[in-house]
Structure 1
């Protein structure tokens, strides 16, 4: 079972940097809301929202293309793909530079064009460094990958603290007025929340230093014929990623639009959106696990063919992915009674906590979809991924429009779940037609079914007069006992995964 140990170890390593990054960014929310009023932070919320979409356009699926083609000629495709990204990033950034002032005026932030320029540079750096990072993943240089990511995150956090906790209060006189003028003048109030972009830009620029070896290994290379092949492979992935992004975002847009007035007594549609949006954040536990797994699994299964990344091992890895994510789903859902108090400080948000188990399950199916998507990336049928994702997007939109007037924000969660299930089924059927893999789908359904029973059994066991922690987690213990008996064999006190 070395393949499981290998991917588990790599997933934990990638997961460490991902979780640390999210945790520190969550810390920055406290810093930003302490330093600025909501109206001052509006520009950051809006521009970073657009940035999530622009990031997909800047890389246009070339990261996945690198994993797919680099196995044939690693240095050649590293040079070619990085050359393409440098050219297109330069072009996109130039366009944003030229039209930064009118674009920002159109968004309602006249005179703030410099912020869009900084953002354009951040996008260019993100896109250009994505390929060296992909090379590190392909070459399994995990420590360097994690170290570069963590140092960049720490620089960003440190600069935010310097600008907003140090220099801004100093300028405003919070730390007293006896400080020298040159220190107080280091902060420019006209930049304000723009210091958040500045810190991000400086932190991102530091990556050129930490990835110096990878950039020194790069040589300019161009081949129109090869680039055309790369483009044909990668552009459907770009559209797939854009559709996936809209799939995640649309429910919040439609909730405010289609929720009937007075649906929730004493609450506006904005209140309902705030409750749903903040409860939605608790599904990040599953998203983090999936992202960390993708970092390790994508280069492994799309890389050079060998005895380890065969169909049987893909099925084995998917089987254990389902088990781990099911345990995570049950573990979080069964403990929401105290998790909600820890993360959602105001009791009004607890009204929407019922969406969390559904959203976690939706993300679980989305994770299964990502593990199965190897088939259309390996067979160069990436357009199939675009079709599947567009179907999922259509289900999300129609489900929200039809159900929100009746079920409120619960409709958003159920529509997302239905979309994820349909995408997973379509991906499975397509994979079995074009590139069959012996997935253990019956066992997956058993674990997911047991997970659902474990979560909802807590509603009935809660009536027993024992501490809630035990009644809510009884189902989880049953699944763990089943897992130990079914998946492991015991030699003394030492468990070993069964060979099946």
Structure 2
């Protein structure tokens, strides 16, 4: 349990920074959805969907490759780090200058001929963020969670402050004091583009804060090590790409497959994307866990009790994820106010997306089998299966069921990947997971959510009353189930 507590403490540090930082960023959702239309928010959602795909290719799996080889075969940590960093920098510089050269043709092709700056902003953001991923990986590997967290929080603070300035303060300043030099710099036709400018400025500030990790190393490029890292990391690109398909493709396809006109399709995309944000608490926890768990899994793999520890990690992970599921779904009448009124028609997808993210988190736990056994090729097969399922279900269900079909496709995709990964893990790296108890916690959480829906249909009471009682039932059940394990 001491090892799990250590992992939990690391997750807490990453989690507090992510939760605090993302909570600040989360406040941008009501800011944007109350001040821009669903169609304009759809523009933001579309660009971030594209950004997810490009981020995989711009990093090429070398973040995980660095973790794998920084301590392997007595390789110099600085050599592994600088080899990965130099390669990622060269790839991203090529990407930036390539987009810069074709932007005059690319922007019209994306139907943004009037705003080519959107593409340029995102190109710079993607380039800086991809390069910054390697220094961030080094901070994680060296257990410098506080510095990692501090930089992440600062980035989010800059984003939030500038967004408030661009969207709220600057337009009012320009209208009240039009003769000020600052007022003359404001251009209302940029509109939603100011959201992109806030993110761009934050990315630049983050990059500057990482300069010690970028400069204070012994530079070197080991060709032999690079070949090993390339062979290991290349399947991770495929895994990452298919993962982005599972996570982002629905928001790309909704624009094209919904059976309405372009304006309405973009509205539906904006509604779905905004409601997706209500699953942010689950996403935050998974991200924080991932930051802490990935280096932990690699570092602890040679211990004699590694597999029992991994099994306990998964169980407690599911316990906490179901707590988040219940917190959001039972108190949805509170969380809905984070969205503008026009966006709340899509709240029915929130429980589906929360469960989808739960299975994604379980898959993150189970995926250690192919990372620790260097069978990343088989891991790519699992991701490919999920991507194929995502594509087929979205194509089949979006025209019939709209964004609700996309939500169900996401859930079935991650659930299917979880089952397939578990079965392959049983063969190549068997861990005795407590499957029965994990399923009990998931089933209990879903039953409590459905129970609240039934209570609210039968009784005219405030939703928070049954919500609080059902949360107490879940907490008591966990306590009774886990108490014997703690007292042994």
Q: Identify the TM-score tier after normalising by the shorter chain.
A: 0.7 to 0.9
* Residue aligning to 1:497: 486
The aligned counterpart of 1:15 is 15
How far is 1:355 from its partner? 2.5
Q: Is the alpha carbon distance of 1:294 and 1:350 closer, same or farther for their aligned partners in structure 2, counting shifts above 3 Å?
A: same
Moved more, 474-483 or 359-368: 474-483
Q: Residues 36 and 345 (structure 1 numbering): CA distance in 2 closer, same or farther, change over 3 Å? A: closer
1:193 and 1:276 map into 2 onto residues whose CA distance is: 18
Gaps of 5+ in 1: 262-266, 490-495
Indicate yes or no: 2:318 matched with 1:329: no
Contact 1:244 1:389 in 2 (8 A): yes
> Which residue pairs with 2:143 in the alignment?
140
1:176 aligns with 2:177: yes
Q: Distance in 1 between matches of 2:213 and 2:470?
A: 49
- Deviation for aligned residue 1:55: 1.4
| 8 Å Cα contact 1:323-1:447 kept in structure 2 | yes
The structure-2 alpha-carbon separation of the partners of 1:38 and 1:433, relative to structure 1 and needing over 3 Å to count, comes to closer
Q: Does the 8 Å CA contact 1:301/1:309 hold for their aligned counterparts?
A: no
Contact 2:166 2:194 in 1 (8 A): yes
Is the counterpart of residue 439 in structure 1 residue 442 in structure 2?
A: no
Check 1:45–1:464 CA distance in 2 against 1; reply closer, same or farther (3 A cut).
Answer: closer
Name the stretch that deviates more: 226-235 or 109-118: 109-118
* Distance across 2 between alignment mates of 1:30 and 1:258: 27
**2:160 maps to which residue?**
157
Q: Match for residue 289 of structure 1?
A: 285
Task: Using structure 2 for the length normalisation, give the TM-score.
Answer: 0.87
Please list, as runs of the form range in 1=range in 2, the aligned pairs for 1:79-228 lying within 5 A after superposition: 79-110=82-113, 113=116, 115-163=118-166, 165-170=168-173, 172=174, 174-177=175-178, 179=180, 182-187=181-186, 194-228=193-227
Contact 1:138–1:299 (8 Å) recurs in 2 = yes
Contact 1:286 1:328 in 2 (8 A): yes
For 1:190 and 1:467, the matched residues in 2 are separated by 44
Uncovered stretches (5+) of structure 2, i.e. residues with no partner: none
Distance 1:404 1:159, change over 3 A: closer
Give SS of 1:307's match: coil
TM-score relative to the length of structure 1: 0.85
Q: How many angstroms apart in 1 are the aligned matches of 2:40 and 2:266?
A: 19
Take 2:459 and 2:169, find their aligned partners in 1: how far apart are those partners?
Answer: 53
Residue 246 of structure 2 corresponds to 247
Partner of 2:349: 355
Shift of 1:177: 4.1
CA-CA distance at 1:239 after TM superposition:
1.8
Distance 1:113 1:140, change over 3 A: same
2:362 aligned to 360, 368, 385, which one? 368
Q: Is the 8 A contact 1:18 1:292 kept in 2?
A: yes
RMSD: 3.2
Q: Could you say if the C-alpha distance between residues 467 and 112 of structure 1 is closer, same or farther in structure 2, counting changes exceeding 3 Å?
A: closer
Query: Rg bigger for which structure?
Result: 1
Q: Report 1 or 2 for greater relative contact order, CA contacts < 8 Å, sequence distance ≥ 6.
A: 2
Cα 1:106–1:273 shift into 2, 3 Å: closer
CA contact (8 A) 1:71 1:304 kept: no
